[in-house]
Structure 1
Amino acid sequence: MASPPSKPEKISSSRREITRKEGEHILVIRFSAMGDVAILAPVLQAVTASYPSLKITVLTRGFFAPIFRNIPNVWVYNADLKGLHSGIRGLCRLASEMRELEVSAVADVHDVLRTNVLRSIFYLFGIPVKQIDKGRAEKKALTAEKNKVFTQLKPTFQRYADVFAQLGYPVDLSKVTFHNKQKLSPSILKITGSDQKKWVGIAPFAQHNSKVYPMDLMEEVIDRLDAQQNLKIFLFGGGAAEIEKLDSLAGSYENVTSIAGKLSFEEELDLISNLDVMLSMDSGNAHLAALYGISVITLWGVTHPYAGFAAFGQPDENNLLPDLEKYPSVPTSIYGNVVPKGYEDVMRSIPPERVVQKVLEVL
C-alpha cells in the first residue's frame, strides 16, 4: 500500500480501516487539479447523506485529503503517481491495491489516460467502472471562435453526480450541507489576531496568466479595501514566486496579511472557513471557500462560468465578467490556456471599483 500522508482519522493507515464497515464500497478517482478535486466534495456530501451505509475511497493526491475531512464514511488513498504508482507497472500495482480494498464499483470522474488504463485493469478484475461525460463536444462549441454556441453547459459537480447515478446512487445536490466553520488553532491566531473586523480573503493567482487580474488593478482593489479600516485582508497563494510577491504586497498596507507559505493546507482551510468573503480568480481557492458556504466573488478572463466551473452554491451575480461586447470570443478556452490576439488584457475591462463595490455589497 502506498504510504499515505499523516491524517489518520481521514486517511487510512491500513486496508482493514477502509473495509471494516458494512455496505457497498465505491472507489472515486480524481487525481487533480485542486479545484476539480474540491468540486467533488459537495457531491460526496450528498452521496454519503443519502446512502449512509456506503463506503467511499477517494483515489487522489494525499495532499488533498483535508478537503474531505468533514465527510463521513469517506477515506483518501494516496496515489503516488510520480513514485510507487508511476507508469503502467505502477498503475497495475495501484489497481491491485484497490482490489485488495474489496472495492465493489468505480466512479471515474477524471477520464484521462491513467484512469482509462485503470478502467481496463478493473474490467479484467470484474469491477464495474462508470466514467464522467466531460461534454467535450459541447465545450468545443462553447469556446469556438466561429459558430460559437454560447450557452450554459452542465456544471461539473452535476457531471460528477451523474456518474454516481449511473452506479445506482442518484443524489439531489440542492440539499448539500456545507462544512462548518472550523476552530482556529493558536498558530493561526498568531497570524490573524482575533479582532472583530470583517475578514476578506483574496487569492490573486491562477494556473494561467489569462485568468489573473492584472496586479496593478488588484493593488487598487486592495488599496480601496484597506482604506475601509473595518476589514482585515488575507492573501492566499503558493510557490516561491507567489509568496515573494504577496509578502511584498502585504507589507505596503496596514490591514493586509499574506498567509502564503505560513500555514499548512489544512490550516489554510480552517482560516478560509472563517472568512466573510473570498475574492478569487477562476481557480481552486474559489471552490475551497464554497465548501464552507463562504460568499465567493470570482473574476473571469478568457474563461466563463458557462463551461461549468463556477463555484458551488454561489449566485450568478458573484461572477464578475469582462466586457463581452468588446471581447465576444470569450470563452476562448475551458482552462484559460488559449488567448487569441487582442485578448491579452481582457480582464482590464473589469474595473477595480466594480470589484470593490461587489465585495462591500456582499459584506
Structure 2
Amino acid sequence: MKRVLVIRLSAIGDVVMTVPVISSLSKAYPDTEIIFVSQKFAAGFIKYIPGVKFFEVDLKGRHKGFFGIFRLYFDLKKLGKIDVIADLHDVIRTKILRLLFAFSSAKKIVIDKGRKEKHDLTKIDSKELRQLEATTSRYAKVFENAGFKFNLEFDYIFTKAPLSEAVLTITNQKDCKWVGIAPFAKHKGKIYPLEQMEKVVAILSGLPKMKVFLFGGGPYEKGVLDGWEKQHKNTISLAGKLSLEDELKVISNLDVLVSMDSANMHFASLVNTSVVSIWGATHPFAGFYGWNQNPKHALQINLPCRPCSIYGNKPCFRKDYACLNLITPQDVVNKINEVIIA
C-alpha cells in the first residue's frame, strides 16, 4: 500500500479547492493511504472524503514559527514510511519541510502555481487577459507527476443535508426560498461595498416567501451582520452561532449563495449550491472559480485594469474601486432571481 502525504496549510479557500482532487484520487486509488496535512478548520470537510486521514497542524501553538516547522517535521516522521509527499502549497514553511525530508526515500512533488502567468494577467500595462489553468487542475497535476493517473470526478460531499434541532431553532424549517449572503473577504479589493450589500439585503427581505441568511466570522463581521438582522425582516445572521460543519449543512439547503471571491464560494461548491459571485480586483481567469459553478453567475465589470491583483490585496490603481462600485444592488438581485428561477 502506498502512503501519500498531502500538504496544504492555508488559505481556507485554497484548502477547500483540494477536495475535488483528493476525493477523485481516493476513488481511483482506494488502496492508497492519503494523509491530509492542514489546519483544524479543514477537518470539518476532509472527514467526508472516504479513505483520507487528517493530520492537524497547529500554527498558533506547537507548530508556530521557525522551530515549529522542525516540530512538525518530527511529528510527521512519527507517521512512518511515506512514499509520496505532495506539496500543494509551496511556501517557505513547506519548502523547509521538503528540505528536512531531503534524505527520505519519499518522492517529493510540488505544485506549479503559475506565478509568471498570474503576474502577466494582473499587469496594468500590456495585460495578457486569458483563462489560466484552474487551481484544481494544478493540484491534480502534482499527483499525476507522482505517477497517479485519474480523472477529476467529484460532485459534492453532501447536498440538502438534514439540519439538527439546534440549527433549526435558528433557521426554522424551510418553507420558502433561502438566500445566503457572505459579504466579506480577506482583502478590500474583493469586498462589495457593505452599504450596497445592505441594500441587497433590504430588497430581498422585502420579497414574498424569501428568507436571507448572513454568513461571516469574527467580532467585526458579526457586529455588522447582527445589525443587518435587526434592521431587516426575514433576515438571520448565522455569524458566531454555528460550527463550520453546521454552516456547510445550512449552505447545502440554500437556493443560492451570494459570495465574494472567497472561501464561501468554495464551501458552496462542496455541497452543490449555486453561487452568485461578485468579482472586483480579482478575476475568474486566475483559476480560482468555484468547482462546477456556472460562469454565467459571476458578476463583474469589464475594465481595462481588471484584474489588478490575484488576491485582492493591492490598492486600487484608479483609487475608486470602480470594479465593485459600478455593480448596483439591483444587478445583484437580478442575478439572484435569474439563478433561482433557472
**Which band: TM-score by shorter chain?**
over 0.9
8 A contact 1:107–1:130 mirrored in 2: yes
- Residues 343 and 169 (structure 1 numbering): CA distance in 2 closer, same or farther, change over 3 Å? farther
Aligned to 1:228: 207
Question: Which of residues 146, 158, 178 in structure 2 aligns to 1:180?
Answer: 158
Aligned: 1:57 with 2:35:
yes
State how 1:1-363 maps to structure 2 within 5 Å: 23-102=1-80, 103-173=82-152, 175-181=153-159, 182-322=161-301, 324=302, 327-338=303-314, 339-363=316-340
Where 2:102 maps in the other structure, the secondary structure is helix
Q: What do the CA deviations read for 1:225-278 (whole angstroms, capped 9, x no partner)?
A: 112221111000001010000000111121110000011112111211221111
8 A contact 1:229–1:255 mirrored in 2: no
Counting aligned pairs with the same residue, the percent is: 42
Partners of 2:53 and 2:180 lie apart in 1 by 29
AA paired with 2:323?
V
CA shift at 1:104, angstroms?
1.7
CA shift at 1:346, angstroms?
2.3
Q: What do the CA deviations read for 1:261-306 (whole angstroms, capped 9, x no partner)?
A: 0111121112112211111000000000100111011000010000
CA shift at 1:57, angstroms?
1.1
8 A contact 1:152–1:306 mirrored in 2: yes
Partners of 1:206 and 1:168 lie apart in 2 by 36
| TM-score (norm: length of structure 1) | 0.90
Where 1:124 maps in the other structure, the secondary structure is coil
Please identify, of 123-132 and 337-346, the stretch whose mean Cα deviation from structure 2 is larger.
Answer: 337-346
Partners of 2:279 and 2:84 lie apart in 1 by 37
CA shift at 1:86, angstroms?
2.7
8 A contact 2:158–2:270 mirrored in 1: no
| TM-score (norm: length of structure 2) | 0.95
Where 2:103 maps in the other structure, the secondary structure is helix
> How many equivalent pairs are there?
337
Partners of 1:47 and 1:299 lie apart in 2 by 31
CA shift at 1:118, angstroms?
0.5
- Residues 82 and 124 (structure 1 numbering): CA distance in 2 closer, same or farther, change over 3 Å? farther
Structure 1 unaligned spans of 5+:
1-22
Partners of 1:177 and 1:46 lie apart in 2 by 10
Aligned CA RMSD, in angstroms, stands at: 1.3
8 A contact 1:161–1:170 mirrored in 2: no
AA paired with 2:330?
E
Partners of 2:254 and 2:105 lie apart in 1 by 46
Partners of 1:49 and 1:276 lie apart in 2 by 29
AA paired with 1:349?
L
Partners of 2:19 and 2:86 lie apart in 1 by 14
AA paired with 2:101?
F
8 A contact 1:295–1:362 mirrored in 2: yes
Partners of 2:190 and 2:299 lie apart in 1 by 12
CA shift at 1:343, angstroms?
4.0
8 A contact 1:162–1:170 mirrored in 2: no
8 A contact 2:300–2:323 mirrored in 1: no
Structure 2 unaligned spans of 5+:
none
CA shift at 1:195, angstroms?
3.4
